[in-house]
Amino acid sequence: MNKKIKKPWPTKAVMTQIYDKHLWGGKEFDFYSGTGSHDPKIIEPYLKALITFLKSFAAPLIVSDLGCGDFNIGKHLTKYTKKYIAIDIVENLINRNKNLYKEKNLEFHCLDIVTDELPQGDCIILRQVLQHLSNAEILKVIEKIKTYKYVILTEHIPVGSFTPNKDIISAQGIRLKQSSGVNVLEAPFHFKTKDQTILDEHILEHNKGRIVTTLYKVF
């Protein structure tokens, strides 16, 4: 008799469980998006780079933060934008953020960035989000974000050369365990950009890879 193959959980259920069970740590917090969103050594250079970019425009940008998480990072960026639209798939997390953070130019939306329509704007922030998604899901996201002028993408990838874009199912973990990482310029994604600039790179200790933030100018 053939053994029934279990289907992977929907992404919304996966991400909700991660926060409910504190699989990224931070049990002393109600919601916690992991050390990558809280370690000063990681987030301070990142924030400096993004603030410098956002302040370079005479007319502030409309920014959509896809996968805003606990908003420990986004809360520092809102004042440098015309409008900051913070999006996450976890409904309880978005409701919590709405209660905690209130600014005139700030909106929170509970959306699935793979299946739902995204708000219009100038710039997308995707910070350590794609690394948790399957290749099929990433392809759908890329199809949507190519309509924005700027994409700021942060990925946790191996140090040195690696085979990009080995497929996974949506989960707590990332491709690093397979000595892989997301590179949107490579197959199967082939993200077309006009220009790209590395804004920030942080090498993690104990051979745990590097966190790289790249600015893509799309058109």
Virtual CA dihedral for 116, 122, 69, 109, nearest 10 degrees? -50
Can you read off the two tokens belonging to residue 114? Answer: 């793979």
Where the chain has pLDDT below 50, the residues are: 1-6
Distance CA 61, CA 55 (A): 9
Q: Which two tokens stand for residue 92?
A: 């309880």
- Kindly report each contact of residues 52-55 with a partner whose C-beta sits within 8 Å and lies 24 or more positions away, as own/partner: 53/152, 53/199, 53/215, 54/80, 54/81, 55/80
pLDDT confidence of residue 1: 45
> Long-range contacts for 55-61 (Cβ within 8 Å, ≥24 apart)?
55/80, 61/121, 61/122, 61/123, 61/150
**DSSP secondary structure letter of residue 115:** T
Name all domains of the chain by residue range, CATH numbers in brackets.
11-217 (3.40.50.150)
Q: So what's the pLDDT on residue 9?
A: 58
Q: Which of helix, strand or coil describes residue 62?
A: strand
What residues have CB less than 8 Å from 8, skipping those under 6 apart?
14, 134, 169, 170, 171
Q: Are 202 and 42 in contact (CB under 8 A)?
A: yes
Q: What is the pLDDT of residue 170?
A: 87
